[in-house]
Structure 1
Amino acid sequence: MSSARSERLVNLVLCLLSTRQYLSAERIRSTVAGYSDAPSDEAFFRMFERDKSELRELGVPVETGRNSGLDPNEGYRIARRDYELPEIELAPDEAAALALAARLWDSPQMATSAHNAVLKLRAAGVEVDTDAAPGVQPRVHASDPAFGPLVAAVDAGRVVTFLHRRGPASEPTARTVEPWGVVSYRGRWYLVGHDRARQDVRCFRVSRIADAKAVGPAGAVTVPDGADLLALVAASAGPAPQAAVEATLLLAPDRAVGLRRGAEVVQQTRDGDVVRVQLPDLDVAARSIAGYGADAVVLAPPELRERVLLLLAGALA
């Protein structure tokens, strides 16, 4: 559709929305910019009929009727009650998700789209509080230079070529990939697709990609049905790191100095000090505590106590 026709259709919608009465074709011709260019009455009516059909195909309810029984000419209008969207209601968690999404897409490629989306929601009566969900901040930033070209290639269904480093110190290698999607996982962006040279599915960290270029025709890449991109990235990235654990320990008097660093003494007894300490995860905590033997006894949590006992039993065996 040409820009002139698009502008004319928008003007026609605004004209028909701005009145409660039915407007005659002649009135529309003199009001809506673009119709005055028609060289004849016949050309105008053909243009007007095409525009009405186009709007109705787009779901715009163009009504036909007369303002009174004495009016000899038919007119046209768009009733606001039929044209306007129904009220949009968002739950607090949904509104918070939208606010976080607006913060997330703060890259130059996405900032305008996010800003426009929030404006449209507010115009529809949805108050999107960008300060919603206090204490929650997106950690992913789409600032990698390769992010924009890769997303554009995915949208267009085009093959991409790029240089990829397996690690910070490794030499870059050239890759040709049929991109299926760009996925966020554990605070990083990953490209998922079919590596033509390896003839297999591969995941690439976007921050390690350089000189990304789309090649070949649009629509050449087809994503397999049922492909779970997030699961592919999760399998490629390995198991998730364990969460930190808070342990309550009984430490022998003046012993287990390493565990006492950063620990809080909550009780002193004849057998030693009861302390509370934060440790990186269960495995690290179990190995550290087991290394102190009888000088450190786990009181809580039960799963940590069980792991320490298994390590000590193995050492005894």
Structure 2
Amino acid sequence: MAAAKTERLMNLLIMLLVQRGYVGRERIRELLYRDSSDEAFERMFERDKEELRSLGVPIETGGHDPLFEDEAGYRVSPDQFALPPIELTADEAAVIGLATKVWEHARLAEATTEAVRKLTAAGADVDVAALDLVEPRLAAEEPSFDVFLEAVQERTEVRFDYRTSGGPDVTSRRVQPWGVVRFSGRWYVVGFDVDRADRRVFRLSRVEGEARKVGEPGVYQVPAGIDVRAIAKATLRPERAQEPAVLLVRVGAGHALRRRAERVEPLAPGERGPDGGGWERLHLVEPPSDLADEILAHGTDVYVEEPAALRRTVIERLGGVS
């Protein structure tokens, strides 16, 4: 069942990508959902579209002629789906979508070949050159990848042993997977930890032994509005709180601080700097801990006016050095 759905998703993606114009619903049904009833087709097609969109595929809706209200059609714009001819960073790779993320993965590579064959046999005008848009190599080498990807599609819970970060401890986990994402060169599953009754992010390379699907498909629903990529990013690289700061910086010094400053002001007429020389006032918004380290590196060329907590931190660290 999971393999059939995977193939259907790949068929739909390839059809919308390789044809030049918008593809109407009836044409899509004829080629990909031929044996489905009206109700089943509507249900599967809507679910498949949303699943591809959730994986980053930019499916557009439109008509063949803007002057007439003809049947709505669908396509994947090559301009939106294409990648620049450069080496991808982890963040760039993360937004490609299902076809790119697992292009070299054996199971889906086979499904892709079969998708092209079936579409051609069904009479679709397929331009296989369009598939070059998703050529970057992003292999999924973790043994548990298949299990979690299928579980996401089926809405099936997964039980697995997991090694925590920074230690040898292994615990048994039971998760309802919401999505599989790539972040900073590694694969993660985002989902609901049933035993801990909370949202969690797991790195697939830390799964010990065999991950197993448990229970029946369709036992849970992914909460509305969930963005698994944003959850992974916020969990793995949380944004630190930023605070406004006002610094006095000697003229000709603190160039890195000046580049990041929101505003640079000369001192008011009659106002003197710490040693009577030339000074300017910089306004920044940054994490205080980062700013304290940089201020100390500038020595007597930078002084803190606000906030008081940042000024105390700098004075305390200077005291520790002396």
TM-score (norm 2): 0.44
Name which one, 1 or 2, has greater alpha-carbon Rg: 1
The higher-RCO structure (CA 8 Å, 6+ apart) is 2
